[in-house]
Amino acid sequence: MPIQSSLQSLLLFVVIIWSSLAAFGPRGVAVAVIPLTVAVCVRAPELVRELARAVMARRGYCLLVGALGLLLLAALSLSNSGAAREAPRRLCCLNNVKQIMLGICNYESAHGRFPPAYTTDAAGRPMHSWRVLILPYIERTDLFEKYHFDEPWDGPNNRKLATETPREYLCPSQPGGPRGTTSYVAVVGPHTVWQDPEGVPVKSIPDGAPNSVMIVEVADSGINWMEPRDLSFEMARRGLGPNGKRLGVWHRNVRDDDFTFCSEQVNAVSVGFVDASARSLRPDIPAETWEALLTIDGGESVDVDQLPAPNIVSRSQSPKWGLLVSLEALVVSSGLLILRPRKRAQDEYRGRDVV
């Protein structure tokens, strides 16, 4: 019986640790300490009294260990606090797209046409990105004046600006990756707004400005904000997912030539339209609708206002069956470990029955 009782306690101990880690991640260690401590106090009061005497004998050492434990708990608590701030970050990303689109439209008003995706040298080699051309129109004249147009984007002078990414070009939901990369790229190629190497005027968009996407949010693009490189129309179409049944460009596991669309945690992506509007789109809009939004001359009529709004909630915050099962296992195992009759109490009860 003692061996069986010890095995039961050990099994419950393991279940508590496992379910705590499954439900709360690294913070589960701190959560598991609570029921385990209560169980020790209830089932082994003699051990608690011995520990209390030992603590009093080494008071300074125990205070130091307790302080370190509190620091550890604080660090674990802060480790996952970023998820709760995801919604404001998404709104900031959407505002970035809005500012970029306003800059592009102001460029069009000043020059009579939208900026080209990039400018070229005499040999046709890409030199300068549209992200550099619109700097004066997003109130970044300071960077524009430092930039030298008589050398490539990665020339001796311009490369000094490589890490000075304007805040409008970086989504706070995507802080990782090399410094200087951009979170927003243009969809370029035939049938897009960026098809003309000289740029197109807004009046030459048959499908209408409110129905034509110019820029999209991309996670881990690997593109420096000055680099004359973006996303091709064909690549965007392939990102729709296998068989075109799901708009997989926003799925966290879908990658295509080192591109992953959107945030890995959020069920939405920010896009900018020709009319300077910015919207968050859901990943489950039909593939045909997405392709129609990318083109300017397909003749499709898309009512963007009728598209379902995304749920700007981190997947890590949405309820999951695994989490519910882990919490239930934690509660049940803790209750069994704490409330299960002690061996001595069982023996005394059996003794009274015999008498």
Q: What is the per-residue pLDDT for 175?
A: 56
Question: Does residue 317 register a pLDDT over 50?
Answer: no
Q: Average pLDDT over the chain, rounded to whole? A: 74
Q: Give the model's confidence band at 166: pLDDT under 50 very low, under 70 low, under 90 confident, else very high.
A: very high
Q: What is the mean pLDDT of residues 56-62?
A: 57
Question: Does residue 230 register a pLDDT over 80?
Answer: yes
Q: What is the mean pLDDT of residues 50-65?
A: 59
Q: How distant, in Å, are the alpha carbons of 115, 153, 206, 219, 310 from that of 185?
A: 13, 16, 23, 10, 21
> Could you tell me which residue, 10 or 241, shows the higher pLDDT?
10
Query: How are beta strands 260-261 and 184-188 bridged, if at all?
Result: unpaired
Q: What is the per-residue pLDDT for 171?
A: 83
Question: Does residue 268 register a pLDDT over 90?
Answer: no
Q: What is the per-residue pLDDT for 248?
A: 29
Q: Which of 92-101, 156-165, 336-345 has the lowest mean pLDDT?
A: 336-345
pLDDT digits (tens, 9 = 90+) for 125-147: 999 999 999 999 999 999 999 99
Q: What is the per-residue pLDDT for 247?
A: 30
> Could you tell me which residue, 185 or 49, shows the higher pLDDT?
185
Q: Which of 37-46, 87-96, 233-242 has the lowest mean pLDDT?
A: 233-242
Q: What is the per-residue pLDDT for 346?
A: 47
Question: Does residue 231 register a pLDDT over 50?
Answer: yes
Q: What is the mean pLDDT of residues 258-262?
A: 41
Question: Does residue 352 register a pLDDT over 50?
Answer: no
In three-state form (DSSP H/G/I as H, E/B as E, the rest C), the secondary structure along the chain is: CHHHHHHHHHHHHHHHHHHHHHHHHHHHHHHHHHHHHHHHHHHCHHHHHHHHHHHHHCHHHHHHHHHHHHHHHHHHHHHCHHHHHHHHHHHHHHHHHHHHHHHHHHHHHHHCCCCCCEEECCCCCEEEEHHHHCHHHHCCHHHHHHCCCCCCCCCCCHHHHCCCCCHHHCCCCCCCCCCCECCEEEEECCCCCCCCCCCCCHHHCCCCHHHCEEEEEEECCCCECCCCCCEEHHHHHHCCCHHHCCCHHHCCCCCECCEEECCCCECCEEEEECCCCEEEECCCCCHHHHHHHHCCCCCCCCCHHHCCCCCCCEHHHCCCHHHHHHHHHHHHHHHHHHHCCCHHHHHHHHHHHHC
CA distance 260 to 222: 10
> Could you tell me which residue, 293 or 24, shows the higher pLDDT?
293
Inter-helix orientation angle 59-79/45-57, to 10°: 110
pLDDT-above-90 percentage for the chain: 27
> Could you tell me which residue, 105 or 66, shows the higher pLDDT?
105
Give the torsion through C-alpha atoms of 201, 205, 206, 208, to 10 deg. -120
pLDDT-above-70 percentage for the chain: 65
Q: Give the model's confidence band at 323: pLDDT under 50 very low, under 70 low, under 90 confident, else very high.
A: low
Q: Give the model's confidence band at 196: pLDDT under 50 very low, under 70 low, under 90 confident, else very high.
A: confident
Q: Which of 126-130, 247-251, 255-259 has the lowest mean pLDDT?
A: 247-251
Q: What is the per-residue pLDDT for 18?
A: 82
pLDDT digits (tens, 9 = 90+) for 7-36: 777 787 788 888 877 777 776 777 777 877
pTM of the model: 0.62
